[in-house]
Amino acid sequence: MNDKIVIITGANSGIGRAAAIRFAREQYKIIMACRNIEKSKKIQQEIIEQSNNHFVELLKLDVSSFQSIKDFCSEFKKKYKKLDILIHNAGYFKHGEKEYQLSPDHIELSFATNAIGPFLMTHLLADVLKKSEDARVLNACTTNIRHFFDSNRTIDYDNLQGELIDSRRYNSYKMYGDSKMALLMLTFKMADVFRKDGIKVNAIQIPAIKLSKETLIKFKSVWRMAASIQNIYSSTPESMADTYFYICTSEECKDITGKLFNDKRELMRPSNYSSGFIQEFKQLTDKGVYPKYADDIANIERVWELAVQLTSK
Ligand SMILES: NC(=O)c1ccc[n+]([C@@H]2O[C@H](COP(=O)([O-])OP(=O)(O)OC[C@H]3O[C@@H](n4cnc5c(N)ncnc54)[C@H](OP(=O)(O)O)[C@@H]3O)[C@@H](O)[C@H]2O)c1
Protein backbone atom coordinates (compact mmCIF):
# COMPACT_ATOMS: atom_id res chain seq x y z
CA MET A 1 0.00 0.00 0.00
CA ASN A 2 1.22 3.46 -0.93
CA ASP A 3 0.98 5.65 2.20
CA LYS A 4 0.01 8.72 0.19
CA ILE A 5 -3.48 10.12 0.66
CA VAL A 6 -5.37 11.74 -2.17
CA ILE A 7 -8.65 13.62 -1.99
CA ILE A 8 -10.60 13.79 -5.26
CA THR A 9 -13.72 15.93 -5.33
CA GLY A 10 -16.55 14.76 -7.58
CA ALA A 11 -14.99 11.27 -7.65
CA ASN A 12 -18.31 9.58 -8.39
CA SER A 13 -18.52 10.58 -12.04
CA GLY A 14 -16.61 11.24 -15.26
CA ILE A 15 -12.98 12.29 -14.92
CA GLY A 16 -13.08 12.23 -11.10
CA ARG A 17 -14.25 8.63 -11.08
CA ALA A 18 -11.60 7.64 -13.64
CA ALA A 19 -8.96 9.43 -11.56
CA ALA A 20 -10.07 7.62 -8.40
CA ILE A 21 -9.65 4.29 -10.22
CA ARG A 22 -6.25 5.37 -11.59
CA PHE A 23 -4.89 6.33 -8.15
CA ALA A 24 -6.54 3.34 -6.47
CA ARG A 25 -4.83 0.94 -8.90
CA GLU A 26 -1.51 2.44 -7.81
CA GLN A 27 -2.55 1.70 -4.21
CA TYR A 28 -2.94 5.30 -3.06
CA LYS A 29 -5.32 5.91 -0.18
CA ILE A 30 -8.35 7.45 -1.82
CA ILE A 31 -10.85 9.85 -0.29
CA MET A 32 -13.81 10.34 -2.59
CA ALA A 33 -15.31 13.74 -1.72
CA CYS A 34 -18.87 13.58 -3.06
CA ARG A 35 -22.12 15.36 -2.35
CA ASN A 36 -24.48 12.43 -2.88
CA ILE A 37 -23.38 9.59 -0.62
CA GLU A 38 -26.11 7.13 -1.63
CA LYS A 39 -25.34 7.47 -5.34
CA SER A 40 -21.56 7.44 -4.75
CA LYS A 41 -21.52 4.25 -2.63
CA LYS A 42 -22.10 2.15 -5.73
CA ILE A 43 -19.16 3.86 -7.50
CA GLN A 44 -16.98 3.43 -4.40
CA GLN A 45 -17.69 -0.31 -4.53
CA GLU A 46 -16.88 -0.46 -8.24
CA ILE A 47 -13.57 1.35 -7.67
CA ILE A 48 -12.63 -1.08 -4.89
CA GLU A 49 -13.44 -4.08 -7.09
CA GLN A 50 -11.67 -2.72 -10.17
CA SER A 51 -8.52 -1.72 -8.30
CA ASN A 52 -8.38 -4.37 -5.61
CA ASN A 53 -7.59 -1.49 -3.25
CA HIS A 54 -9.79 -1.46 -0.14
CA PHE A 55 -8.63 1.96 0.99
CA VAL A 56 -11.26 3.90 -0.91
CA GLU A 57 -13.21 6.04 1.52
CA LEU A 58 -16.26 8.14 0.80
CA LEU A 59 -16.80 11.45 2.63
CA LYS A 60 -19.61 13.90 2.10
CA LEU A 61 -18.75 17.20 0.46
CA ASP A 62 -20.86 19.81 -1.24
CA VAL A 63 -18.14 22.13 -2.48
CA SER A 64 -20.65 24.91 -3.18
CA SER A 65 -21.41 25.18 0.55
CA PHE A 66 -19.02 26.70 3.10
CA GLN A 67 -20.56 24.69 5.93
CA SER A 68 -20.19 21.43 4.03
CA ILE A 69 -16.54 22.25 3.22
CA LYS A 70 -15.86 23.01 6.90
CA ASP A 71 -17.56 19.77 7.98
CA PHE A 72 -15.63 17.77 5.40
CA CYS A 73 -12.26 19.25 6.43
CA SER A 74 -12.83 18.68 10.14
CA GLU A 75 -13.99 15.10 9.46
CA PHE A 76 -10.89 14.48 7.35
CA LYS A 77 -8.57 15.96 9.99
CA LYS A 78 -10.12 13.83 12.73
CA LYS A 79 -9.00 10.77 10.79
CA TYR A 80 -5.79 11.82 9.06
CA LYS A 81 -2.81 13.88 10.06
CA LYS A 82 -1.49 14.64 6.56
CA LEU A 83 -2.70 15.04 3.02
CA ASP A 84 -0.52 14.51 -0.05
CA ILE A 85 -2.71 15.27 -3.04
CA LEU A 86 -5.83 17.41 -3.34
CA ILE A 87 -7.64 17.36 -6.68
CA HIS A 88 -10.38 19.93 -7.13
CA ASN A 89 -12.15 18.06 -9.89
CA ALA A 90 -15.82 18.69 -9.02
CA GLY A 91 -17.37 21.24 -11.32
CA TYR A 92 -20.77 22.78 -11.89
CA PHE A 93 -21.99 23.68 -15.35
CA LYS A 94 -25.54 23.21 -16.50
CA HIS A 95 -25.83 23.68 -20.25
CA GLY A 96 -28.76 25.89 -21.18
CA GLU A 97 -29.72 26.82 -17.59
CA LYS A 98 -31.68 30.06 -17.84
CA GLU A 99 -32.39 30.75 -14.18
CA TYR A 100 -29.76 32.36 -12.01
CA GLN A 101 -28.52 29.74 -9.52
CA LEU A 102 -27.36 30.68 -6.03
CA SER A 103 -25.27 28.62 -3.61
CA PRO A 104 -26.27 28.20 0.06
CA ASP A 105 -23.96 31.16 0.84
CA HIS A 106 -25.67 33.36 -1.74
CA ILE A 107 -22.96 33.21 -4.39
CA GLU A 108 -23.64 32.41 -8.04
CA LEU A 109 -23.52 28.60 -8.11
CA SER A 110 -20.76 27.99 -10.68
CA PHE A 111 -18.59 30.63 -9.02
CA ALA A 112 -19.18 29.08 -5.59
CA THR A 113 -18.56 25.51 -6.78
CA ASN A 114 -15.70 26.05 -9.20
CA ALA A 115 -13.71 28.87 -7.60
CA ILE A 116 -14.63 29.99 -4.08
CA GLY A 117 -15.22 26.46 -2.70
CA PRO A 118 -11.82 25.13 -3.85
CA PHE A 119 -10.19 28.32 -2.49
CA LEU A 120 -11.72 27.82 0.98
CA MET A 121 -11.09 24.08 1.03
CA THR A 122 -7.43 24.44 0.06
CA HIS A 123 -6.93 26.95 2.86
CA LEU A 124 -8.67 24.75 5.41
CA LEU A 125 -6.51 21.77 4.39
CA ALA A 126 -3.23 23.70 4.14
CA ASP A 127 -2.11 22.58 7.61
CA VAL A 128 -2.37 18.89 6.71
CA LEU A 129 -0.95 19.44 3.21
CA LYS A 130 2.07 21.08 4.84
CA LYS A 131 2.81 17.81 6.61
CA SER A 132 3.34 15.98 3.33
CA GLU A 133 6.83 15.84 1.88
CA ASP A 134 5.46 16.46 -1.58
CA ALA A 135 2.06 18.17 -1.35
CA ARG A 136 0.35 18.86 -4.64
CA VAL A 137 -2.96 20.56 -5.40
CA LEU A 138 -4.53 20.36 -8.85
CA ASN A 139 -7.41 22.54 -10.05
CA ALA A 140 -9.61 21.48 -12.97
CA CYS A 141 -9.80 24.34 -15.44
CA THR A 142 -11.22 24.39 -18.98
CA THR A 143 -10.56 25.52 -22.54
CA ASN A 144 -13.64 27.74 -22.07
CA ILE A 145 -11.30 30.35 -20.55
CA ARG A 146 -9.94 30.94 -24.06
CA HIS A 147 -12.92 33.28 -24.57
CA PHE A 148 -10.83 35.72 -22.53
CA PHE A 149 -8.60 36.16 -25.59
CA ASP A 150 -11.31 38.68 -26.45
CA SER A 151 -9.92 41.84 -24.87
CA ASN A 152 -13.43 43.03 -23.96
CA ARG A 153 -14.16 39.93 -21.92
CA THR A 154 -14.09 40.34 -18.13
CA ILE A 155 -15.49 38.53 -15.14
CA ASP A 156 -18.98 39.87 -14.31
CA TYR A 157 -18.10 40.99 -10.79
CA ASP A 158 -21.27 43.05 -10.59
CA ASN A 159 -23.55 40.02 -10.63
CA LEU A 160 -21.85 37.34 -8.54
CA GLN A 161 -24.34 37.50 -5.68
CA GLY A 162 -27.57 37.82 -7.57
CA GLU A 163 -27.39 41.63 -7.76
CA LEU A 164 -28.81 41.72 -11.30
CA ILE A 165 -30.94 38.63 -11.05
CA ASP A 166 -33.99 40.38 -12.52
CA SER A 167 -32.34 42.65 -15.04
CA ARG A 168 -29.54 40.63 -16.68
CA ARG A 169 -30.08 37.46 -18.65
CA TYR A 170 -28.36 34.55 -16.91
CA ASN A 171 -25.76 33.00 -19.16
CA SER A 172 -24.58 29.76 -17.55
CA TYR A 173 -21.89 29.29 -20.20
CA LYS A 174 -20.34 32.69 -19.42
CA MET A 175 -20.64 32.23 -15.68
CA TYR A 176 -18.91 28.87 -16.01
CA GLY A 177 -16.05 30.48 -17.98
CA ASP A 178 -15.81 33.32 -15.46
CA SER A 179 -15.64 30.88 -12.55
CA LYS A 180 -12.92 28.78 -14.16
CA MET A 181 -10.92 31.92 -15.03
CA ALA A 182 -11.21 32.92 -11.36
CA LEU A 183 -10.01 29.44 -10.36
CA LEU A 184 -6.98 29.80 -12.62
CA MET A 185 -6.06 33.18 -11.15
CA LEU A 186 -6.55 31.83 -7.62
CA THR A 187 -4.25 28.94 -8.59
CA PHE A 188 -1.48 31.39 -9.48
CA LYS A 189 -1.81 33.31 -6.23
CA MET A 190 -2.23 30.21 -4.03
CA ALA A 191 0.98 28.83 -5.54
CA ASP A 192 2.77 31.97 -4.33
CA VAL A 193 1.14 32.02 -0.91
CA PHE A 194 1.79 28.33 -0.20
CA ARG A 195 5.27 28.14 -1.72
CA LYS A 196 6.89 28.62 1.71
CA ASP A 197 4.96 25.60 3.00
CA GLY A 198 6.10 23.36 0.16
CA ILE A 199 2.56 23.05 -1.23
CA LYS A 200 2.50 23.09 -5.02
CA VAL A 201 -0.64 24.37 -6.73
CA ASN A 202 -1.27 23.93 -10.46
CA ALA A 203 -4.18 23.83 -12.88
CA ILE A 204 -5.05 21.73 -15.90
CA GLN A 205 -6.85 23.14 -18.93
CA ILE A 206 -9.32 20.41 -19.83
CA PRO A 207 -10.68 20.21 -23.38
CA ALA A 208 -13.89 18.41 -24.39
CA ILE A 209 -13.97 15.06 -22.61
CA LYS A 210 -16.67 12.43 -23.14
CA LEU A 211 -19.57 13.03 -20.76
CA SER A 212 -21.24 10.15 -18.98
CA LYS A 213 -24.91 9.24 -19.49
CA GLU A 214 -25.65 10.48 -15.96
CA THR A 215 -24.21 13.90 -16.78
CA LEU A 216 -25.96 14.12 -20.16
CA ILE A 217 -29.32 13.42 -18.50
CA LYS A 218 -28.93 16.61 -16.44
CA PHE A 219 -28.88 18.77 -19.61
CA LYS A 220 -31.90 20.22 -21.36
CA SER A 221 -32.73 18.25 -24.56
CA VAL A 222 -31.12 20.45 -27.21
CA TRP A 223 -27.91 20.73 -25.17
CA ARG A 224 -27.97 16.99 -24.52
CA MET A 225 -28.01 16.42 -28.27
CA ALA A 226 -25.13 18.85 -28.85
CA ALA A 227 -23.09 17.29 -26.05
CA SER A 228 -23.78 13.78 -27.41
CA ILE A 229 -22.39 14.85 -30.79
CA GLN A 230 -19.38 16.43 -29.10
CA ASN A 231 -18.84 13.13 -27.25
CA ILE A 232 -18.08 11.41 -30.56
CA TYR A 233 -14.78 13.23 -31.03
CA SER A 234 -13.88 13.88 -27.39
CA SER A 235 -11.13 12.13 -25.43
CA THR A 236 -11.98 9.72 -22.66
CA PRO A 237 -12.13 10.54 -18.94
CA GLU A 238 -9.42 7.89 -18.49
CA SER A 239 -6.96 9.84 -20.65
CA MET A 240 -7.53 12.96 -18.54
CA ALA A 241 -7.23 10.86 -15.37
CA ASP A 242 -3.78 9.77 -16.59
CA THR A 243 -2.85 13.44 -16.95
CA TYR A 244 -4.10 14.20 -13.41
CA PHE A 245 -1.95 11.30 -12.22
CA TYR A 246 1.08 12.56 -14.11
CA ILE A 247 0.82 16.11 -12.72
CA CYS A 248 0.19 14.92 -9.16
CA THR A 249 2.78 12.16 -8.89
CA SER A 250 5.56 12.40 -11.48
CA GLU A 251 9.14 13.36 -10.70
CA GLU A 252 9.04 15.76 -13.68
CA CYS A 253 6.30 17.81 -11.99
CA LYS A 254 7.65 17.60 -8.45
CA ASP A 255 8.92 21.17 -8.32
CA ILE A 256 6.39 22.81 -10.60
CA THR A 257 3.96 25.26 -9.04
CA GLY A 258 1.74 28.12 -10.20
CA LYS A 259 1.35 26.75 -13.72
CA LEU A 260 -1.40 25.82 -16.14
CA PHE A 261 -0.90 22.56 -18.04
CA ASN A 262 -2.64 21.71 -21.29
CA ASP A 263 -3.94 18.24 -22.11
CA LYS A 264 -0.65 17.45 -23.86
CA ARG A 265 0.97 17.84 -20.43
CA GLU A 266 2.81 20.95 -21.60
CA LEU A 267 3.27 24.04 -19.46
CA MET A 268 1.29 26.90 -20.90
CA ARG A 269 2.36 30.55 -20.94
CA PRO A 270 0.47 33.85 -21.04
CA SER A 271 -0.20 34.96 -24.59
CA ASN A 272 1.92 37.77 -25.96
CA TYR A 273 0.32 37.91 -29.36
CA SER A 274 -0.57 41.40 -30.48
CA SER A 275 -3.79 42.52 -32.13
CA GLY A 276 -4.58 42.08 -35.83
CA PHE A 277 -6.23 39.24 -37.72
CA ILE A 278 -3.15 37.07 -38.31
CA GLN A 279 -1.84 37.42 -34.74
CA GLU A 280 -5.28 36.68 -33.30
CA PHE A 281 -5.66 33.64 -35.53
CA LYS A 282 -2.24 32.36 -34.44
CA GLN A 283 -3.21 32.92 -30.81
CA LEU A 284 -6.43 30.93 -31.21
CA THR A 285 -4.60 27.99 -32.74
CA ASP A 286 -1.66 28.05 -30.32
CA LYS A 287 -2.36 25.41 -27.67
CA GLY A 288 0.53 26.64 -25.55
CA VAL A 289 -0.95 29.99 -24.52
CA TYR A 290 -3.67 31.24 -22.21
CA PRO A 291 -5.27 34.71 -22.09
CA LYS A 292 -3.19 37.59 -20.70
CA TYR A 293 -6.16 38.40 -18.48
CA ALA A 294 -5.16 35.53 -16.16
CA ASP A 295 -1.66 36.85 -15.73
CA ASP A 296 -2.60 40.42 -14.89
CA ILE A 297 -1.65 41.27 -11.29
CA ALA A 298 -4.62 43.61 -10.82
CA ASN A 299 -7.03 40.92 -12.03
CA ILE A 300 -5.45 38.33 -9.76
CA GLU A 301 -5.57 40.62 -6.74
CA ARG A 302 -9.19 41.49 -7.42
CA VAL A 303 -10.37 37.90 -7.48
CA TRP A 304 -8.19 37.05 -4.48
CA GLU A 305 -9.66 39.86 -2.40
CA LEU A 306 -13.15 38.80 -3.40
CA ALA A 307 -12.46 35.18 -2.37
CA VAL A 308 -11.02 36.33 0.96
CA GLN A 309 -13.98 38.64 1.59
CA LEU A 310 -16.61 36.03 0.69
CA THR A 311 -15.04 33.28 2.79
CA SER A 312 -14.28 35.33 5.87
CA LYS A 313 -17.90 36.24 6.63
N1 LIG B 1 -16.04 16.95 -19.60
C2 LIG B 1 -15.58 18.03 -20.21
O3 LIG B 1 -15.73 18.18 -21.43
C4 LIG B 1 -14.86 19.09 -19.43
C5 LIG B 1 -14.24 20.13 -20.14
C6 LIG B 1 -13.58 21.11 -19.43
C7 LIG B 1 -13.52 21.05 -18.06
N8 LIG B 1 -14.12 20.03 -17.39
C9 LIG B 1 -14.03 20.03 -15.93
O10 LIG B 1 -13.62 18.75 -15.49
C11 LIG B 1 -14.16 18.47 -14.21
C12 LIG B 1 -14.83 17.11 -14.23
O13 LIG B 1 -15.87 17.14 -15.19
P14 LIG B 1 -16.57 15.83 -15.78
O15 LIG B 1 -16.63 15.97 -17.23
O16 LIG B 1 -15.98 14.62 -15.20
O17 LIG B 1 -18.07 16.08 -15.26
P18 LIG B 1 -19.11 15.16 -14.50
O19 LIG B 1 -19.04 13.74 -14.93
O20 LIG B 1 -20.42 15.87 -14.65
O21 LIG B 1 -18.61 15.24 -13.00
C22 LIG B 1 -18.72 16.38 -12.24
C23 LIG B 1 -18.58 15.97 -10.80
O24 LIG B 1 -18.63 17.13 -9.99
C25 LIG B 1 -19.53 16.86 -8.93
N26 LIG B 1 -20.09 18.07 -8.38
C27 LIG B 1 -20.78 19.06 -8.99
N28 LIG B 1 -21.15 19.98 -8.12
C29 LIG B 1 -20.69 19.57 -6.91
C30 LIG B 1 -20.76 20.09 -5.60
N31 LIG B 1 -21.41 21.23 -5.35
N32 LIG B 1 -20.15 19.41 -4.60
C33 LIG B 1 -19.52 18.26 -4.84
N34 LIG B 1 -19.42 17.70 -6.05
C35 LIG B 1 -20.01 18.36 -7.07
C36 LIG B 1 -20.61 15.98 -9.55
O37 LIG B 1 -21.37 15.35 -8.53
P38 LIG B 1 -22.84 14.77 -8.82
O39 LIG B 1 -22.64 13.48 -9.56
O40 LIG B 1 -23.41 14.58 -7.46
O41 LIG B 1 -23.57 15.79 -9.64
C42 LIG B 1 -19.72 15.03 -10.34
O43 LIG B 1 -19.18 14.06 -9.50
C44 LIG B 1 -15.10 19.62 -13.89
O45 LIG B 1 -14.47 20.55 -13.06
C46 LIG B 1 -15.37 20.24 -15.25
O47 LIG B 1 -15.70 21.62 -15.16
C48 LIG B 1 -14.79 19.04 -18.05
Phi, psi of 58 (to 5 degrees): -115, 125
Distance from the alpha carbon of residue 158 to the mean position of ligand 1, in angstroms: 26
Q: Give burial (CB, 10 Å; 0-12/13-18/19+) of 90.
A: buried
For position 218, what pLDDT does the model report? 82
- What does the pLDDT read at residue 17? 98
Q: Which atom of ligand 1 is nearest to the CA of 18?
A: 16
Q: What is the reported pLDDT for 69?
A: 98
The CA distance from 55 to 203, in Å, is 26
pTM beyond 0.85: the answer is: yes
Q: What is the pLDDT along the chain (313 residues), one digit of tens a residue?
A: 789 999 999 999 999 999 999 999 999 999 999 999 999 999 999 999 999 999 999 999 999 999 999 999 999 999 999 999 999 999 999 888 889 999 999 999 999 999 999 999 999 999 999 999 999 999 999 999 999 999 999 999 999 999 999 999 999 999 999 999 999 999 999 999 999 999 999 999 999 999 988 888 888 888 888 889 999 999 999 999 999 999 999 999 999 999 999 999 999 999 999 989 999 999 999 999 999 999 999 999 999 999 999 999 7
Three-state DSSP state, 148: helix
Residue 193 C-alpha to ligand 1 middle, in angstroms? 27
- CB-ligand 1 contact for 13 (6 Å cutoff): yes
Ligand 1 pocket check for 105: Cβ under 6 Å: no
| pLDDT value of position 268 | 98
Given the CA of residue 36, which atom of ligand 1 is nearest to it? 40
DSSP code for 180: H
Residue 209, ligand 1, Cβ within 6 A: yes
Helix or strand or coil: residue 31? strand
* C-alpha 100 to ligand 1 mean position (Å): 19
Domains of the chain (ranges, CATH numbers): 5-311 (3.40.50.720)
Of all atoms in ligand 1, which is nearest to the CA of residue 112?
31
pLDDT of residue 123: 98
- Using the mean position of ligand 1's atoms as its centre, give its distance from the Cα of residue 12 in Å: 9
Contact status, residue 80 vs residue 128, Cβ threshold 8 Å: yes
d(CA 25, CA 285): 36
Evaluate: CB of 121 within 6 angstroms of ligand 1: no
- Is 92's C-beta closer than 6 angstroms to any atom of ligand 1? yes
CB of 12 within 6 A of ligand 1: the answer is yes
In three-state secondary structure terms, 212 is coil
